[in-house]
Structure 1
Amino acid sequence: MNVFDSLRSRAGPRREAIVLASIIAMLPFVLASDFHYRVLAIAWVFALAVIGLNILMGYAGVVSLGHGGFVGIGAYAVALGPARLGIPTGASLVGGLLLAGLLAFVIGRPILRLKGHYLAAATLGFGILVSIALVNEVQWTGGPDGMSVQRLGAFGWQLRSPQAWYWVAGGALVLGAMLAVNLERSPTGRALRAIHGSEIAASVAGVDVARYKLVAFVLSAVYAAAAGAMLALMNAHITPGVSDFLVSLQLVTMVVLGGMGSVLGAVVGTALLLILPQFLTVLHDYEHAFLGGVLILSMIFLRSGIVPTLQAALRKGG
């Protein structure tokens, strides 16, 4: 069965995760340098955050413009834990995920009751607050210059090579994808889809709208924090820029471009916006204009996103 047959299968969501794992396993046969491994490792890390945001946007229909804040929380957890608190890196990573989930639970209860642009503005405010805190708390975070991050390792060995991070990030991405597709096919996933379709109809059908939206928000925050932690550990240095508004906006763009509700779409959207610029250096100053043009054309001709549009075309052609 080829990739296109996989995408046409009735078990589409689960097949998407299988296709993703196959792609990650086969790409090293065509990679030529450490640079390529590093670019793809970063893409896998961001794709993990995008899959998490896709649970919130694609499944529940809730837009968040502040998820860069959760990325920053995960990143600085693995930086501050060993450097300031004497907590081992692994424990700091787990602590960062728990902290992101707890914050999402606390702030999600009030702000998820908002609607439309009020909700988007509230999430944006959270992301800005996190970014400001990371910049201003110089004695803890190093301020705008950031701080070094202790590498992950054990028994004298440290995880530092691009090849090693390619497999670690790829493995985390596949695991995150499998969790997302299993969630989609679960009763919780069906409840989230019902909410996305119509909150009123879902509520009439007995769905606890506030509870399920909060579940999606917390899960997406944990995904983002995990991505932030891996990014910090991979680079061995982190700055507050990881949590600013442009990162949040970039994550939202990746979800929409690839296709909301599609796990493979989240990866495709991430790859297009992160990997493609690495191969457009010949355009120099026109690189961002080219990418903006790609995004505009995609939104005009592929309104459902790249992957869902291709899936629909394949079903029609089959």
Structure 2
Amino acid sequence: MNALLHGRLTGLLALGAVIAVLPAFLPNNFYLDIAILAGFNAVVCVGLNLLIGYAGQISLGHAGFFGIGAYASGVLVGSYGWPPVLALLAGAVFVGLLAFLVAKPILRLKGHYLAMATLGIGIIVSIVLRTESGLTGGPDGMMVEPFRIFGVELYGEKVWYWVVGVFLLGVVWLSLNLIDSPMGRALRAVHGSEVAAEVVGVDTARFKVLVFVLSAVFASVAGSLFAHYTGLITPAKADFFKSIELVTMVVFGGMASTFGAVVGAVVLTLLPQALTVFQDYQQIVLGGILMATMVFMPKGLLPTLAALVPARRRA
């Protein structure tokens, strides 16, 4: 256990070091922008990994929570003059309550029934955002006011890079602590066997709802900050394809691996940019890479690579 905790601490320090030194190797704001987008995706994937990787509960609608958070900030700040911090918190509370209400019935389902139910949630959110044009701007989206805190406006890629970097570190730290807590052990028990977990006294329904709400709140806060950073949000950020993209990042990086979720989000955010040299064949090459990874690295990218590193001999 001490070795495991040491490894997680080392990983957290390594992530912090990468975030700290990375700007020195990024030549311009375009690359900073890509790094920021990767950070937002990583935050959502860390939360989604708690749900999928540790609790074993699939969700194909998490982009809906990301979109609600984004539009909550956009509408409350732009149309009603709320302070951005208060709008962000209000969006997170609303998403948390919504996730709690829908989690109670749908998490009783299993397998493809659960997948279809979560997919339905995402589709409903996407439809509402597209049709309520008077409030959300419809398919064209809406402009979002800059993020201000204590009268100071967060502006520019360099500032936002550090905001997102610190946010990601905080989410990863929280996730690692949760995994080592009684709740984390309960989630792993639920993933292994719900029946066995209930036999030993684990309230499986309660823990599944809690992790679903927590992962939804992570997505909401990321969506709010994303909206303020980009200054423009559209319903595309809450649709089915975005949800599939997020799940793919988690699976690609390695389920039940917090750092794997970060790696998966970063790689699949950067990879499409690197594959632009293939022009019309970009999506075909990307699909081929994903299939090859799943065939030869079924546990995900990071766990497979970590298994190749010789373990230290125990003292």
Give the TM-score band, short-chain normalised: over 0.9
Please state if 1:198 is matched with 2:227. Answer: no
Instruction: Select 1:279's aligned residue among 274, 278, 285.
Output: 274
Q: SS at 1:275's partner residue?
A: helix
Instruction: Select 1:293's aligned residue among 263, 288, 297.
Output: 288
Q: C-alpha separation between the residues in 1 aligned to 2:18 and 2:50?
A: 22
TM-fit CA distance, 1:16: 2.3
Q: C-alpha separation between the residues in 2 aligned to 1:314 and 1:91?
A: 46
- Partner residue, 1:234: 229
Instruction: Select 2:213's aligned residue among 208, 214, 218.
Output: 218
- Partner residue, 1:5: none
- Partner residue, 2:172: 177
Q: C-alpha separation between the residues in 2 aligned to 1:15 and 1:109?
A: 37
- Partner residue, 1:48: 43
TM-fit CA distance, 1:279: 2.2
Q: C-alpha separation between the residues in 2 aligned to 1:249 and 1:236?
A: 24
Q: Residues 289 and 316 of structure 1: is their aligned pair in 2 closer, same or farther, counting only changes over 3 Å?
A: farther
Please state if 1:24 is matched with 2:19. Answer: yes
Amino acid at match of 1:256: V
Report the number of matched residues.
311
Q: C-alpha separation between the residues in 1 aligned to 2:247 and 2:200?
A: 30
Amino acid at match of 1:38: D
- Partner residue, 2:87: 92
Moved over 3 A (4+): 154-157, 315-318
TM-fit CA distance, 1:154: 4.2
- Partner residue, 1:3: none
Q: C-alpha separation between the residues in 1 aligned to 2:51 and 2:140?
A: 32
TM-fit CA distance, 1:157: 3.8
TM-fit CA distance, 1:147: 0.5
Question: What TM-score, normalized to structure 2?
Answer: 0.95
Q: What is the aligned-residue RMSD (CA, Å)?
A: 1.4
User: Contact 1:273 / 1:291 at 8 angstroms: preserved in 2?
Assistant: no
Q: C-alpha separation between the residues in 2 aligned to 1:129 and 1:136?
A: 11
- Partner residue, 1:302: 297
Moved more, 281-290 or 131-140: 281-290
Q: SS at 2:56's partner residue?
A: coil
TM-fit CA distance, 1:316: 5.3
User: Contact 1:255 / 1:269 at 8 angstroms: preserved in 2?
Assistant: yes
Amino acid at match of 2:254: G
User: Contact 1:131 / 1:243 at 8 angstroms: preserved in 2?
Assistant: yes
TM-fit CA distance, 1:317: 8.5
Q: C-alpha separation between the residues in 1 aligned to 2:209 and 2:5?
A: 29
Q: SS at 1:314's partner residue?
A: coil
User: Contact 1:13 / 1:262 at 8 angstroms: preserved in 2?
Assistant: no
User: Contact 2:63 / 2:243 at 8 angstroms: preserved in 1?
Assistant: yes
Q: C-alpha separation between the residues in 1 aligned to 2:9 and 2:220?
A: 24
Q: C-alpha separation between the residues in 1 aligned to 2:198 and 2:11?
A: 30
User: Contact 2:85 / 2:149 at 8 angstroms: preserved in 1?
Assistant: no
TM-fit CA distance, 1:30: 0.8
Correspondence list, 1:48-87, <5 A: 48-87=43-82
Please state if 1:269 is matched with 2:238. Answer: no
Q: What CA deviation, in whole Å up to 9, does each residue of 1:135-159 have, x standing for no partner?
A: 0001000000111101112465421
Q: Residues 240 and 97 of structure 1: is their aligned pair in 2 closer, same or farther, counting only changes over 3 Å?
A: same
Correspondence list, 1:241-252, <5 A: 241-252=236-247
Amino acid at match of 1:224: A
User: Contact 1:45 / 1:227 at 8 angstroms: preserved in 2?
Assistant: yes
TM-fit CA distance, 1:25: 0.8
Moved more, 150-159 or 164-173: 150-159
User: Contact 1:13 / 1:263 at 8 angstroms: preserved in 2?
Assistant: no
Q: Which structure 2 residue ranges, 5 or more long, are not aligned?
A: none
Identity of aligned residues (%): 49
User: Contact 2:252 / 2:301 at 8 angstroms: preserved in 1?
Assistant: yes
Q: What CA deviation, in whole Å up to 9, does each residue of 1:47-100 have, x standing for no partner?
A: 000001001001101000000110011100110101222321110001111111
Q: C-alpha separation between the residues in 2 aligned to 1:86 and 1:41?
A: 26
User: Contact 2:83 / 2:148 at 8 angstroms: preserved in 1?
Assistant: no
TM-fit CA distance, 1:309: 1.1
Please state if 1:139 is matched with 2:159. Answer: no
Please state if 1:35 is matched with 2:61. Answer: no
Q: SS at 2:308's partner residue?
A: helix
Q: C-alpha separation between the residues in 2 aligned to 1:155 and 1:138?
A: 32
- Partner residue, 1:164: 159
